[in-house]
Structure 1
Amino acid sequence: MTKDVIEAIEQRRSVRSFTSEEIPEATVGRLVEAALRAPSAGNLQPWKMVVVYNSEKRQALAAACHQQRFIAEAPVNIVVLLEKGKSADVYGQRGETYQYQDIGAAIENMLLAATGYGLGSCWVAAFDEDKVSQIIKAGGDLRPVAIIALGHSAEDPKPIPRRNPEDVVTVIH
């Protein structure tokens, strides 16, 4: 298990090929706990999560994700849902932005924790929202915004080039 957060950031990759090895529920629980530790505007935590182990449901989710088959291959999918209006009720129109920032922070915590546990993951946002809602029976004010495919990596993804700090940072003294 990686204990250094910088090391986890450097090692994290999007994985799209998984082994069939199961992940203990306790480990998945720790990943969800890591997500819940993310900062959120006003500590509103405008999220819910549905953990999917069921193979048929994972296959249905893969189909709803424009046939991204690796989603079904991953032994666990975590569907991250937005509680619509929760942030806007407090912050007005600006809350519309905050809620997505909050969910992004929660997801990144989960991805880094997965890396720390030696697991592979992939953040998926390309899907038919209505189909995903039907598959997991999300209703009311819940909107699926991401699916995290999670498992033991069957590949060794190479680092992807990133922009240089000099290209994106302006320093003002």
Structure 2
Amino acid sequence: MECLEAIFSRRSVRKFLKKDVDDETVRKLLEAGNAAPSAGNLQARDFVVVRDDETKLKLAVASLRQMFIAQAPVVIVVVANYPRSMKVYGERGKIYAEQDAAAAVQNILLAAHCMGLASVWVGAYDDEVVSEILGIPSYARPAAILPVGYPAEAPEARRRFNIDELTHLERW
């Protein structure tokens, strides 16, 4: 799949087939995530891979009861690792770690799509509860929850603003 085709055809999918995603495929998704750009090449993001049904259910409940999370064969939680970036950039490193995580999320979403998988970027959840469930240390923060699986739906493209409405030349 061509790069632009992947960007324009990717959709957020919330229904998955009951078909496993093998470890090699998950590893490739993680490698794609870590290939994303990062401030100072510090790669201030970590990944928690969840396959356990009970843990996925807890994550779904902590995510405003978005139960489709529990239905995915695998869930990847992308975590912003603040100290990894702050050791070079000080307090500003927190923002960079979040940007590093966001770039990794987008790479994972696109890689999943190119590999015949589907996902959705979940950002609505209780940070503290998710951190407790997954044992994420207090110096890091979950940046996104990505349920991943083979799609059981093919959502239509959603409306986008015309790019002319969003573009400012030289100044806002």
Q: TM-score range by the shorter chain?
A: over 0.9
Equivalent-residue separation in structure 1 for 2:144 and 2:168 (angstroms): 31
Please say which of residues 158-167 and 106-115 is displaced more in the overlay.
158-167
Equivalent-residue separation in structure 1 for 2:89 and 2:49 (angstroms): 29
Equivalent-residue separation in structure 1 for 2:116 and 2:74 (angstroms): 15
Equivalent-residue separation in structure 1 for 2:142 and 2:92 (angstroms): 20
Please say which of residues 39-48 and 163-172 is displaced more in the overlay.
163-172
How far apart are residue 89 of structure 1 and its match? 2.9
- Name the aligned partner's letter for residue 24 of structure 1: D
Gaps of 5+ in 1: none
Aligned 1:4-153 pairs, distance under 5 A: 4-153=2-151
How far apart are residue 85 of structure 1 and its match? 3.2
How far apart are residue 84 of structure 1 and its match? 2.0
Equivalent-residue separation in structure 1 for 2:164 and 2:142 (angstroms): 36
Equivalent-residue separation in structure 1 for 2:163 and 2:3 (angstroms): 19
Q: What TM-score do you get using the length of structure 2 for normalisation?
A: 0.93
How far apart are residue 164 of structure 1 and its match? 1.6
Equivalent-residue separation in structure 2 for 1:85 and 1:167 (angstroms): 38
Equivalent-residue separation in structure 2 for 1:16 and 1:10 (angstroms): 18
- Name the aligned partner's letter for residue 37 of structure 2: P
- Name the aligned partner's letter for residue 42 of structure 1: G
Equivalent-residue separation in structure 1 for 2:97 and 2:141 (angstroms): 12
Are the equivalent residues in 1 in contact too, given 2:80–2:100 (CA < 8 A)? Answer: no
How far apart are residue 95 of structure 1 and its match? 2.5
How far apart are residue 140 of structure 1 and its match? 4.1
- Name the aligned partner's letter for residue 76 of structure 1: V
- Number of residue-to-residue matches in the alignment: 170
Deviations 1:4-38 (A, max 9, x none): 11111111111111111111111111000000101
Gaps of 5+ in 2: none
- Name the aligned partner's letter for residue 54 of structure 2: E
Q: What TM-score do you get using the length of structure 1 for normalisation?
A: 0.92
- Name the aligned partner's letter for residue 39 of structure 1: P
- SS of match in other structure, 2:151: coil
Equivalent-residue separation in structure 2 for 1:119 and 1:84 (angstroms): 30
Percent identity of paired positions between Structure 1 and Structure 2:
44
Q: 1:76 to 1:18 in 2, by over 3 A?
A: same
How far apart are residue 171 of structure 1 and its match? 4.2
